[in-house]
Amino acid sequence: MQDLLNEIADAMAAETERGKVADYIPELAHVDPQQFAISLATVKGERYSAGCASTPFSIQSISKVFTLTIALGKMGDALWSNVGREPSGDPFNSIVQLEHESGKPRNPFINAGAIAVVDAIMMGHEPKETLAELLSFVRYIADDESICFDHVVAASEMAHRDRNASLAHFMKAFGRLRHDVDKILGTYFHQCAIAMSCDQLAHAGLFLASDGVNQPSNIRVVSPQRARRINSLMMMCGHYDASGEFAFRVGLPGKSGVGGGILAIAPGQGSIAVWSPGLDDYGNSLLGTKALEMFVQRTGWSVFGH
Ligand code: GLN
């Protein structure tokens, strides 16, 4: 497995087409597009990585998997009265579908859906309380107390929040949000600005690969049914309007972020995190996807078989 990861890292280093680093969040535009990392945490407790796998990066929308997990823990299926479970077929920051469905976002992984999930988690609390809860959950599942928010990235998003603010105000106009919009957005941007390395992220995703049990501590994070459902949402919606393409090429539940990371889950096998900052036209990591495609071709770990 280590040889395979080295081979993938070498192949990605040789690629000249690396995509475009997100610049609509100015702070992310400074990230060096040459970086690449891949980490694998297996359900048997093995750890492998190649490239700059201990370098923290902005996990961005990958954080939506963690807030969804917390929201389901707090309110169970009641969450679904305000957030749908269907792929949107629209870009991650699209507003169009909200108008046709009374402000109810299609799924928890598009921005509108993630904003509604944050609102659900807040439950009358201040942003800093919600963020403390989120951070301790992420530190717990990654078994790493050093994980932090990147406050500079969060501030950069807050200063350029018009697009997400319009999604939030639009949903609020339909009575879908309960808290103050700027407080919801401040919480959402900090959530997206969690900085993690591929090593930490692969560890954090492991509970989804082993029926909800965090390894190696053997503590249950969610029920097997909930792990299966979160995986299915990642498969159908985790790459926005390119989710079909990701399923076609990789065939694993996956969640991307505009920081260039992807968390992919091979149920029963392990959790794989990749990072390459350059994005494709859909806002998903160009080489991250390519690396995962190479990984499943060699391991046969796609949920659809070889
Ligand atoms: N924080 C980003 C945003 O709200 C997250 C988008 C993403 O990673 N796809 O625009």
Looking at the structure, tell me whether residues 148 and 258 fall in a common domain: no
Which candidate, 266, 215, 295, 233, places its Cα nearest to that of 37?
A: 295
CATH at 86: 3.40.710.10
Instruction: Specify if 305 maps to a domain.
Output: no
Last residue of a domain, one of 147, 176, 192: 192
Last residue of a domain, one of 192, 222, 249: 192
State the DSSP H helix or E strand holding residue 50, giving kind and residue range, or none if neither. Answer: strand 47-51
Task: State the closest ligand 1 atom to the C-alpha of 61, by its place in the atom list counted from 1.
Answer: 8
Looking at the structure, tell me whether residues 41 and 160 fall in a common domain: no
Task: List alpha helices for the chain, DSSP H.
Answer: 2-13, 63-75, 96-100, 111-122, 127-142, 151-159, 162-173, 181-192, 198-209, 224-237, 243-249, 286-299
Looking at the structure, tell me whether residues 233 and 149 fall in a common domain: no
Contacts of 118 (CB under 8 A, 6+ apart): 67, 130, 184, 187, 188, 191
Report how many domains make up the chain: 2
Integer-rounded Cα Rg, in Å, for the chain is 18
Nearest 5°: the CA angle 123, 88, 22 is: 85
Task: State the closest ligand 1 atom to the C-alpha of 157, by its place in the atom list counted from 1.
Answer: 1
Q: What is the pLDDT of residue 280?
A: 97
Looking at the structure, tell me whether residues 188 and 247 fall in a common domain: no
Pocket lining for ligand 1, CB < 6 angstroms: 60-61, 92-93, 111, 157, 164, 192, 257-258, 283
Distance CA 17, CA 274 (A): 17
Strand partners, 194: 149
Q: What is the pLDDT of residue 187?
A: 98
Looking at the structure, tell me whether residues 287 and 231 fall in a common domain: yes
Domain limits for position 147:
63-192
Instruction: Specify if 107 maps to a domain.
Output: yes
Q: List the pLDDT tens digit at each of the 306 positions of the chain.
A: 999 999 999 999 999 999 999 999 999 999 999 999 999 999 999 999 999 999 999 999 999 999 999 999 999 999 999 999 999 999 999 999 999 999 999 999 999 999 999 999 999 999 999 999 999 999 999 999 999 999 999 999 999 999 999 999 999 999 999 999 999 999 999 999 999 999 999 999 999 999 999 987 888 999 999 999 999 999 999 999 999 999 999 999 999 999 999 999 999 999 999 999 999 999 999 999 999 999 999 999 999 988
pTM, to two decimals: 0.98
